[in-house]
Amino acid sequence: MLTFISVVFFSCKKETTQNEVWSSKSDILFLDFEKEDINNNFIDIKGSHKIVKNNRNHALEISFKKDEKITGVKLTPKNNFKLNKSKKYSLVFDAKSLGDETTFLTVYAENGNGERVRRITNIDTGEFKSYFFELTSNKTDINSGLRDTPKAWKTEATHMKISGLLYNMDFSEIAGIDFFRLEGLKDKTILVDNIRIVESPERDPNFLKGIVDKFGQNAKRDFPIKVHSDEELKKIADVELKSLAEYTLMSDRSQYGGWKDGPKLDATGYFRKEKVDGKWALIDPEGYLYFSIGLANVRMANTTTYTGIDYTDEKLYHRDPEDVTPEDSKGIIEIPTETMKTAHVVNKLRNDMFLELPKIDDALANHYSYRRESHFGPIEHGQTYSFYRANLERRYGETSKNSFFDKWLEVTENRMRNWGFTSFGNWIDPAFYHRNNLPYFANGWIIGDFQKVYSGSDYWGPMPDPFDPEFERRVIKSIDVVSKEVENNPWCMGVFVDNERSWGNESSTKAHYGLVLDGLSKGKDSYLKQQFMTILKTKHKTIGNLNKAWKTNIASWKELEKGVDYKKQNEFPEGMVADFSVMLTAFATKYFKTVHDILEDKMPNYMYMGCRFAVWGITKEVRESAAKYVDVFSYNHYKEGIGTKYWKFLEEIDMPTIIGEFHMGAPDSGLFHSGLVHAADQKDRANMWADYANSAIDNPYFVGVHWFQYLDSPLTGRAHDGENYNVGFVSNTDIPYPPMIKKAKEVNSNLYTRRFGKKIKK
């Protein structure tokens, strides 16, 4: 169809035959939309498609509807495409976004076993461009420890990025290709053409070697805010410091960031919530209406990346069983000099990524740290380095030990206020707590050696058994630490406890009630199982009544007590599901009540901000249980904005709600992955941030929206799990992204009049 293709090896083959096993260096044309009988099944999902004339040829036009959970089109051939099992292939297509705005797109490829890989990208406006991804995961990519890698060969085509994790799948057959958008904020339309399967070129064996310069930047490409010398970095810092010294707080703000020009309500000396004229609001300690807009994860804990080095000193591996802080929330852990002398390479692939790492006697060697465990990745533990901290020392110098850190605290606060943000988000360095310059949220974790329960969607790990007495003991211990850190400070708004727990989801009955199914499979030594047995015996009285309701043949209560595994079952009788709902409610109620009661006892002046639900981990029973005990609902919602359909439940529970995390990233940052939502460039990214922020500001139930995170991920991935995203308002050289700052000031300067209207102070 198109006469131009941006890369030689992505040439388009016009004549194809399905199910043919193609020879080396051949392209297999999946669809070019030129034939009347395209021999494919098109299935529209909450959207529409049509074949349209494009110049002298034809293309597929896909229209996506806004606010739909899934919208797009499935392309399914009548017969699977069969590929040579001994070869590796890439999926390639040409596309462009119609209208003035780019389109964030998700593409699924399905193999002959019904397994799917998912990749994401941003489709640009203007001319057609080629987009691609490898169908078969490469061992080098998996062993790299990066969430996604740079291109492994030279091409002008856009490399679509991983959404999720890398898995090895058999793609010797292609059963379908899907073009979707997930909860898009606006209607969008794209043109797609020349969908093809291409044998992947030979990879450059050194494509990961020397990719990181001494500043932690991409060493192999330029980008707008790249730094080339220590002197340049210092000069940039000096210019910004002069600018920040001249700023003043936005004129309509109270000292806490509330709306000074709006009505003044009852002041309690602490933050609280109230519904005002049909809209939920936070109220600052002086009684002013308040909306929490800010940046999360302002700390050093996630700035380190694995170097591929480890030590022989096993004392580094020791973990205090009474510790209340997970490994990924710890800051820099100093390594003794004698221990550093035992350094040895454990992952050469990673170690070769760095052009320059400080020697142990270097002035910047104090930014080495040690990570005792990872969530996942090829390295379980080892040496890490924080380029961000090192760059702070380069920017601000070090007149005394860690004096650059004190300067960073000051600069960060000044930036937040200058940019118009009213608060920090979750996960800030406790060093900010008592500086009393910007409101913040405290954070507690419930970790420990209590019994665990699996929901089946356990991305970050299993749930705690809230009926285990050890769970309550660990909650008390964690909240006690938080309480002592906060010290009854009015600048603290509330406390988040836990993050993105695996409650289950409503995609199926089994996914919905995974916690219950796992609990039923446990024996009598399980605290949760004991509770479930009490619930069932109280309701049904006899095992016969239970069998009648469940349509089962359980011999006795004793047999059920030993554990019956229903996790492989897909169909569940109505009576069984009804009991599952009761048991899940009991589980969630116990969890939230325990946390609430302990917070009420130890920190009565602060709001319970919930556990930061993820969209993949929440059910109706859990939501309703939480509503009884949390002061504010919290959700991490990585989409393009706040629509109406997903959030319809807010009308039922009528609770103030806060977005704990969202972000967008772009490829012009030098990083190898844009993040969970993609923009075309930094200007587009800033506009997408504004769209999301305004969609929350305009919603009467939302009382805050927090971007994740303050700074970009490390280029080679955070040590915790390899995330290497362009998600910062500042880079790893601590340089703000100008379009983001400009747009933040624009949105934040109109925050309160947009949210509450032009009310005159009473």
Query: Would you say the pTM of this structure is higher than 0.85?
Result: yes
Distance between CA atoms of residues 24 and 30, nearest Å: 17
pLDDT at 133: 95
639 or 457: which carries more pLDDT confidence? 639
Q: What's the DSSP call for residue 365? A: G
**Mean pLDDT of all residues in 521-543:** 98
Q: Is 118 exposed, middle or buried (0-12, 13-18, 19+ CB in 10 A)?
A: middle
* Residue 498 CB contacts under 8 Å (≥ 6 apart), including other chains: 444, 445, 446, 611, 612
Using an 8 Å Cβ cutoff, are 402 and 747 in contact?
no
Give the model confidence (pLDDT) of 604-661 as tens digits: 999 999 999 998 899 999 999 999 999 999 999 999 999 999 999 999 999 999 999 9
State how far the Cα of 618 lies from the Cα of 635, in Å rounded to an integer.
Answer: 10
Note the helical H segments in 603-737: 620-627, 649-653, 682-697
How far apart CA 689 and CA 436 sit, in angstroms, is 27
pLDDT digits (tens, 9 = 90+) for 361-403: 999 999 999 999 999 899 999 999 999 999 999 999 999 999 9
pLDDT of residue 23: 34
Are 136 and 198 in contact, with CB atoms under 8 Å apart? Answer: no
| Separation of alpha carbons 171 and 160, rounded Å | 17
* φ, ψ (nearest 5 deg) of residue 761: -55, 135
Query: How confident is the model at residue 14, as a pLDDT?
Result: 38
Helix (H, G, I), strand (E, B) or coil at 120: strand
pLDDT confidence of residue 498: 96
Residue in this structure with the two tokens 């006795």, named with its chain if needed: 556
pLDDT at 55: 78
User: Residue 393 corresponds to which amino acid?
Assistant: E
Give the pLDDT confidence of 76-104 residue by residue, as tens digits: 988 888 999 889 999 999 999 999 999 99
For the chain, how long is the longest CA-to-CA vector? 80
Helix, strand, coil percentages, rounded to 5, for the chain? 30, 25, 50
DSSP one-letter code for 506: T
Among 491, 423, 453, 490, CA closest to 658: 423
Tokens of 341: 């002398």
Question: What local confidence, expressed as pLDDT, does residue 36 receive?
Answer: 54
Mean pLDDT of 21-25: 35
- R_g of the chain, CA atoms, integer Å: 27
Alpha carbon distance 212, 198 (integer Å): 30
Is omega for the bond preceding 709 within 30 degrees of 0, making it cis?
yes
Which amino acid would we find at residue 664?
M
Q: What SS3 state is found at 738?
A: helix
DSSP state of 668: G
Nearest to 688 by CA among 665, 711, 657, 659: 665
* Cα–Cα distances in angstroms (integers) from residue 592 to residues 131, 326, 532, in the given order: 46, 20, 18
Residue given tokens 């994740």 in the structure block:
708
Q: Return the ∠ at Cα 724 (arms to 721 and 726), rounded to 5°.
A: 140
10 Å CB burial of residue 757 (0-12, 13-18, 19+) is exposed
Of 268, 712, 698, which Cα lies nearest the Cα of 490? 268
Beta strands in 467-594 (DSSP E): 492-497
Instruction: Report the pLDDT averaged over residues 564-586.
Output: 96
> How many other C-beta atoms can be found within 10 angstroms of the C-beta atom of residue 343?
17
Write the CB contacts of 51 (distance below 8 Å, at least 6 apart in sequence): 33, 38, 58, 59, 60, 61
| CB-based burial, 33-67: b 16+ in 10 Å, e otherwise | beeeebebebeebebbbeeeebeeebbbbbbbbbb
Task: Look up tokens 């090192």; give the residue.
Answer: 390
| Contact indicator for 249, 417 with CB cutoff of 8 Å | yes
Q: Taking Cα atoms as reference points, which of 86, 322, 123, 305 lies closest to residue 215?
A: 305
Share of the chain above pLDDT 90, in %: 87
Q: Average pLDDT of 570-598?
A: 97
Ramachandran region of residue 734, left (φ > 0), alpha (ψ -120 to 50) or beta? left
Phi, psi of 576 (to 5 degrees): -70, -45
Q: Mind listing the pLDDT tens digit for each residue in 704-747?
A: 999 999 999 999 999 999 999 999 999 999 999 999 999 999 99
Instruction: Tell me the three state secondary structure of residue 135.
Output: coil
pLDDT > 80? residue 15: no
- The per-residue pLDDT for range 192-212, each reduced to its tens digit, is 999 999 999 999 999 999 999
Give the model confidence (pLDDT) of 228-280 as tens digits: 999 999 999 999 999 998 888 899 999 999 999 999 999 999 999 999 999 99
**Cα four-point dihedral sign 370, 374, 380, 386:** negative
Encoded amino acid at 193, one letter: D
Helix (H) or strand (E) holding 41, with range, is strand 40-45
Q: Choose the weakest-confidence range: 27-36, 52-61, 131-140, 446-455.
A: 27-36
pLDDT confidence bin for 39, thresholds 50/70/90:
low
Q: By CB neighbour count within 10 A (0-12 exposed, 13-18 middle, 19+ buried), where does 91 fall?
A: buried
513: its two tokens: 């009630």
pLDDT for 32? 80
Q: What is the DSSP letter of 474?
A: H
In which band, very low, low, confident or very high, does the pLDDT at 41 lie, cut at 50, 70 and 90? confident
Q: What is the pLDDT of residue 8?
A: 32
660-681 average pLDDT score:
97
pLDDT digits (tens, 9 = 90+) for 102-126: 999 999 999 999 999 999 999 999 9
Question: What are the phi and psi torsion angles at 747 (to 5°)?
Answer: -70, -45
For 281-327, the pLDDT digits (tens) are 999 999 999 999 999 999 999 999 999 999 998 888 888 889 999 99
Q: Which residue type, as a one-letter code, is found at position 343? A: A
Question: Cβ distance 438 to 460 under 8 Å?
Answer: no
